[in-house]
Amino acid sequence: MDAVEKANAARQRRWTKDQKVGEGTYAVVYRGREAATGRRVAIKKLKVGQFKDGLDMSAIREVKYLRELRHPNVIELLDVFSSKTNLNLVLEFLDSELEAIIKDRTLVFLPADIKSWIAMTFRGLEYCHRNFVLHRDLKPNNLLIASDGQLKLADFGLARDFADPGYKMTCQVITRWYRPPELLFGSRYYSTAVDIWSVGCIFAELMLRTPYLPGESDMDQLKTIFRALGTPAEEDWPVRPPRTASDDTLADVHALQGHTKLPDYVPVGQFPKTPLRDLFTAASADTLNLLGKCLVYEPRKRISAKEALNHPYFSALPYPSHPSKLPKCAAQLASAKVLEEVNGNVDPVGQGPGVKAAPPKRAKRKLSDDDISRNIARKLDFS
Amino acid sequence: MSGASRSNVGGWLRGTTIRKGATPSTTRSATPQVQSTSSTVFGGGVKDASGRTSEFFSMDDQCPVCKSDRYLNPKLRLLVSSCYHKMCESCIDRLFTLGPAPCPICNKILRKLAFIPQTFEDLVVEKEVAVRRKIAKEFNKRREDFPDLRSYNDYLEEVEDITFNLINDIDIPQTEARIAAYRKENASLIERNLQREEAYAQALKEHEEAEKRERQLRADELRRAEEEERDAREGERRALIDTLAQSDADAGRLVARSKAEAQKRAAARTSAAAHAVQASSALLLRSRAAQGAAVPDVPHVAIQDDWYAYEDMFTLRPSYFDPASDAVRRDREGIMRAGGYRVEEAWERALRSAVAGLDLPPLVGLAAGQGDGDVVMASV
């Protein structure tokens, strides 16, 4: 066993794997514990074997960026180790996600609750952006809620650092309902503003308790957006800044070209602008102002995470709810109770290395049968 | 809720609630409707929990100035001046419409708008309540603002002293000076405590709202259950009639069996419904209310970590000589700009990365030959 294998084995021994809690397209998530302290963790086992070209891109992205980021509002990557051909990410354990809470109709959201969630989202996002990381997959599903109520950005499988000038980025990112129009128009050069649009959609969803812009296809998504916010005119979303003296060398034909020059631009019809007030009847003026600034068509004019955190919406009364007071969904409360019981009855230290101790049952029996027969054979060997 | 039904809630408070412009209610024929004869709306006075002013009202009211009484003028309404003398609305209109004038009783200069409705029968109480209210607004220190109980008690003693002086008109200028000195000394603390109280009131209000919602929910639930029960009972009755019509078994036995079944079902339903309603409401109320009191909401702080971005180590210029990004900046098609891409961010990143390592001391303890061995990752 060489040094690297030894180090990996040592890491693996730090964590025990319990039952499976979920399965995604490229990973299985297990509940687990830190062997030494009994701290709850989630272990994400990435299915590596099925990809011909080595490790899946999103796995690399997730590890790469989570290793760099540490913030109360970003999920923490505790460890990475490999077992056989799989790669295991040890993440902090989080009870539920915002989507489940939004869907739980028995919960009542106070304006202060929404403010608290959005503030935590912006804080986590601001941290990513200031470290030059784009999340590119913000949606309620990926905003996880810890047992103390803290909201954490998770799933960095589509994250990317800012591109160097001239490098193209893919526009096939972000779940459709939360995808900003510049990506729908196929822009390959974009910025942090894409994440802000997603936060705007989440903000609206928290108020409406139903997805704000649920398009059925990419084409329909644009139509849905324009129906809600009005079709942008050329001057709403210009390509060129207003001409200044230093711009004289630039060709005049570009003086006022709009987003219509984006690669995948297609006209989807003219819709009138309706004020946000019509849909969000109960929201305060501050709320609508911030929401409006998150959903500006021109990416450069969209509010940044840092500016958003300094928006008067957050400092106005009511104060954002303390995270521990935020509504929790029933499943979360139930799981908390069950876990409390488990915590009381089971000694987590005595469980041994779960990853190795839980091979499929059939294989185990077969193995032990073999062992027994071999042992008998050895006893009968008189040589 | 009519004014008459509220009038004796307090016991000691013999007053009626007056709302100008409200339609006179038919239930209060015993007491004459107190109406204002003046066009001025007099504010102030002591408000009850619902924010309305309870006004003292008696059949023996008499204006000390014009001597008109309730017998002669059923619409008589007495108001209290800032020197705590009563007079009727018409006297106030007559004396003070042309501007500040001396009080006909004590000669203090009074203004029309400083008259307030009377809440308490005894004007000394009226004055004490007003003074205490005013004082409490500024002298709002709490126990936790003092290092020990002794100093807190001294402070309370001082407040009581000032209040007593103001109520009984002892050393007024001196007392006013004391208040002013206190105000100057504790301006920030007063402000903070005010905000705290506001936040507390807000929490209280939220709690109340949650409770109200809860009650509403429970009522809806009950109504729904009742309806269901009625429907079920109706269905059973119809079923029984059908069976009686079609089957040729003994009618008495059929009726008895269906009755027993219905009873069993009803019992199960009520117990289940009661249980569900209780459980859900109790859970919601408990969680929200318990937390509301325990953890106060804190004002928003934009960025909570102290993160150093090396801002003082470089200044970003509007433009750089950068052939690599030249094409991007010229942006012939304008697609970079439309997508929101900023070359400045790339520049900032490059600069920050460049200066970030400047402070780091070189690694010590690494011998020259050791560097080319196994690369060992730092532990988490």
Identical topology for domains A3-92 and A97-382: no
Residue A72's pLDDT is what? 92
Model pLDDT, residue B316: 85
Q: What are A11-54's pLDDT values in tens digits?
A: 888 898 888 888 876 788 899 998 888 888 999 888 766 656 66
Give residue A1's pLDDT.
66
| Residue where the block lists tokens 């459980």 | B279
Lowest mean pLDDT among A198-202, A204-208, B325-329, B354-358: B325-329
pLDDT at A129: 92
Q: Considering only A349-358, B161-170, B265-274, which range has the smallest mean pLDDT? A: A349-358
Query: How far is the C-alpha of A308 from the C-alpha of B70, rounded, in Å?
Result: 63
CATH assignment of A97-382, among 1.20.120.1200, 1.10.510.10, 2.10.109.10, 1.10.3720.10: 1.10.510.10
Percent of the residues in chain A that have a pLDDT greater than 70, as a whole number? 78
CB contact under 8 A, B345 and A78: no
Lowest mean pLDDT among A133-142, B87-96, B247-256, B292-301: B292-301
Please tell me which residue, A347 or A265, carries the higher pLDDT value.
A265
Q: What is the mean pLDDT of residues A335-356?
A: 39
CB A121 within 8 A of CB A151: yes
Kindly state the average pLDDT of the residues A70-79. 92
Show me where the domains of chain B are located: 9-121, 207-282
Residue with tokens 């080595």: A54
Residue with more model confidence, B30 or A124: A124
Which residues, 6+ apart, have CB-to-CB distance to A339 below 8 Å?
Answer: A40
Write out the catalytic residue numbers of A.
137
Calculate how close chain B gets to A153, using CA atoms only, in Å. Answer: 16
Contacts of B2 (CB under 8 A, 6+ apart): B25, B27, B28
Residues A158, A151: Cα–Cα separation, whole Å: 19
Give every CB contact of residue A216 below 8 A, 6+ residues apart in sequence: none
Residues A152, A94 contacting (CB under 8 angstroms): yes
pLDDT level of residue B291 (50, 70, 90 thresholds)? low
pLDDT at residue A243, rounded to an integer: 46
In the prediction, which pLDDT does A204 show?
A: 94
Distance CA B102, CA A19 (A): 87
Mean pLDDT of chain A: 79
Lowest mean pLDDT among A197-201, A211-215, A355-359: A355-359
To test the contact with chain A by mutation, choose from B196, B206, B300 the residue with the greatest count of A C-beta atoms within 10 A, namely: B300
Query: What does the pLDDT read at residue B242?
Result: 87
pLDDT single digits (tens) B160-183: 999 999 888 888 899 999 999 998
The rounded distance, in Å, linking the Cα atoms of A326 and A148 is 9
Residues of B in contact with A299 (CB under 8 A): 338-340
User: Which of B41, B110, B37 shows the shortest CA–CA distance to B70?
Assistant: B37
Identify the CATH class of B9-121. alpha beta
With 70 as the cut, is the pLDDT of residue B32 above it? no
Judge whether residue B261 has pLDDT over 90. no
Q: Which chain A residues are Cβ-neighbours of B345 within 8 angstroms?
A: 132, 162, 191-192
pLDDT of B279 above 60: no
Nearest to B201 by CA among B191, B213, B209: B209
- Looking at residue A352, its amino acid is G
Tell me the pLDDT tens digit for each residue of B198-239. 888 899 999 999 999 999 999 999 999 999 989 988 998 898
Asked whether the predicted pLDDT for residue A251 surpasses 50, the reply is no
Closest-CA distance of chain B to residue A189, Å: 5
3-state secondary structure of A126: helix
Contacts of B343 in chain A (CB under 8 A): 165
Cβ B303–A123 below 8 Å, yes or no? Answer: yes
In this prediction, residues A244-273 reach a mean pLDDT of 65
Exposure string over B364-375, b if 16+ CB within 10 A, otherwise e: eeeeeeeeeeee
pLDDT at B325: 78
Q: Give the nearest partner residue to B300 out of A7, A302, A314, using CB atoms.
A: A314
Mean pLDDT of A84-107: 87
- What pLDDT score does A84 carry? 75
* pLDDT bucket at B45, cuts 50 / 70 / 90: low
Distance from the A377 Cα atom to the nearest Cα atom in chain B, whole angstroms? 44
Q: Is the pLDDT of residue B17 over 50?
A: no
Residues in B closer than 8 angstroms to A72, CB to CB, are: 304-305
Identify the residue among B329, B341, B345 best suited for mutation to test binding to A, counting A beta carbons within 10 A and taking the highest. B341
> Is residue A198 within 8 Å of A244, Cβ to Cβ?
no
Q: What is the pLDDT of residue A177?
A: 93
Q: Dihedral through CA B183, CA B188, CA B191, CA B195, nearest 10?
A: -160
In terms of pLDDT, which residue wins out, B123 or A375?
B123
Q: Does B197 touch chain A (CB under 8 A)?
A: no
Burial of A136 per CB tally in 10 Å (0-12, 13-18, 19+): buried
Q: Reply yes or no on whether the pLDDT at B9 is more than 50.
A: no
**CA atoms in the 13 A half-sphere facing the CB of B201:** 8
Interface test with B, best of A11, A322, A329, A337 (most B CBs within 10 A): A322
Residue B267 has pLDDT above 80, yes or no: no
Q: Tell me if A4 and B374 make a contact (CB, 8 A cut-off).
A: yes
Residues of A in contact with B322 (CB under 8 A): 165
Query: Half-sphere exposure of residue B304, counting CA atoms within 13 Å on the CB side?
Result: 14
pLDDT over 80 (residue A233): yes
Given a cut of 70, whether residue B278 has pLDDT beyond it is no
Q: Which helix (H) or strand (E) holds A30?
A: strand A27-34
Q: What is the pLDDT of residues B79-105, one digit of tens each?
A: 999 888 999 988 998 998 888 899 998
A3-92, superfamily in CATH? Phosphorylase Kinase; domain 1 (3.30.200.20)
- Tokens standing for residue A272: 């009138």
Q: Where are the domains of chain A?
A: 3-92, 97-382
Report which DSSP code applies to B177: H
Q: Name which of B131, B108, B118 is nearest B87 in CA terms.
A: B118
- The gap from C-alpha A267 to its chain's centroid, in whole angstroms, comes to 31
pLDDT band at A352, cuts 50/70/90? very low
Instruction: Tell me what percent of the residues of chain A surpass a pLDDT of 90.
Output: 31
Task: Quote the CA–CA distance of B348 and A3 in Å, as a whole number.
Answer: 39
